[in-house]
Chains A and B, each alone.
Chain A
Amino acid sequence: QVQLVQSGGEVKKPGASVKVSCKASGYTFNSYGVSWVRQAPGQGLEWMGWISGYTGKTNYTQKLQGRVTMTTDTSTSTAYMELRSLRSDDTAVYYCARHHDNSGYPFDYWGQGTLVTVSS
Chain B
Amino acid sequence: DIQMTQSPSTLSASVGDRVTITCRASQNISSWLAWFQQKPGKAPKLLIYDVTNLESAVPSRFSGSGSGTEFTLTISSLQPDDFATYFCQQYNSYWTFGQGTKVEIK
Contact = CB atoms under 8 A, between A and B. Distances in A.
A110 B96 contact: no
A43 to B, nearest CB: 8
A62 B96 CA distance: 13
Contacts of A50: 94-95
Given A104-B32, A106-B46, A108-B55, A45 B91 contact: no
A44 B98 contact: yes
A75 B82 CA distance: 39
Interface string A100-118: 0001111110111100000
Contacts of B91: 99, 103-106
B46 A44 contact: no
Contacts, number: 53
Contact of A103 (B43, B87, B94): B94
Interface residues of A, number: 21
B16 interface: no
Contacts of A44: 87, 97-100
Does more than half of chain A's interface fall in helix, strand or loop, or is it mixed? Answer: loop
A40 B9 CA distance: 17
A6 B99 CA distance: 24
Interface string A77-120: 00000000000000000010001000111111011110000000
Nearest to A100: B91
A98 B55 CA distance: 15
B60 interface: no
Contacts of B97: 37, 44-47
A35 B46 CA distance: 15
Contacts of A47: 94-97
A50 B97 CA distance: 15
Most interface-central of B44, B46, B95 (chain A CB within 10 A): B95
Contacts of B93: 103
